[in-house]
Amino acid sequence: MSSMPETFRRHTFVWLSEEASGSIVLESGDPALLRDWIAKMRPLIVRRPCLSPDGNEVFLGVALPGKRRLACRAPRAAVLRTALPPLLGDCDLHFETLVALRAIAPDLRVFGSHAWQHLTGLPYVTESSDIDLLALIDSPEEWERFCTAMSALPLPTTPRLDLEVVLLGDASFSWREFLASETQILLKSSSAVWLESKSRVSALLHD
């Protein structure tokens, strides 16, 4: 993936050059931990607002084992590569509902603790860990097929499976919340958070 602005969206993983560590601005957390993390070529993740107003800095975070967090800003020039979260099929996750989900959306991606453990080899996942998934929807037709197929597949609670729907690579919302009785839903994009009518979700794919 190229280092274009659309690359630096929520959920995107980023690897930084160790040589550029001196130009990275730490906003919270232990600077020694951040230096060590980058030196070991471990990934960071893009966080809102993603890019600075001039587009020259990327806002990043690290989720460490044990629920510790780091937050920083780095020059775009320090980015060596970026990647979407790993595909569900590449992660060591096997149970019946996931097989059915992959049949509905083959490009489901994993984020959260399972993604961090897959990418780093460090111990993130516990018995109480949720399985966090992303369903990428890029057209009204995909959305209609997804809704039809998912209507017959309730999400399990043990282990808890949280599915986030991502529209056109950016605006996202919780599938569980979409199924709830409220008429509006909370959407999150790389630059904003807002309430939207559920009836307009399909229309957003035309905007």
Residues taking part in catalysis: 130, 132
**Tokens standing for 9?**
């969206």
Q: Tell me which residue of 137, 135, 105, 104 sits closest to 204, measured CA to CA.
A: 137
In our burial notation (b when 16+ CB lie closer than 10 A, e otherwise), range 190-201 reads beeeeeeeeeeb
| Rg of the chain on CA atoms, in Å | 18
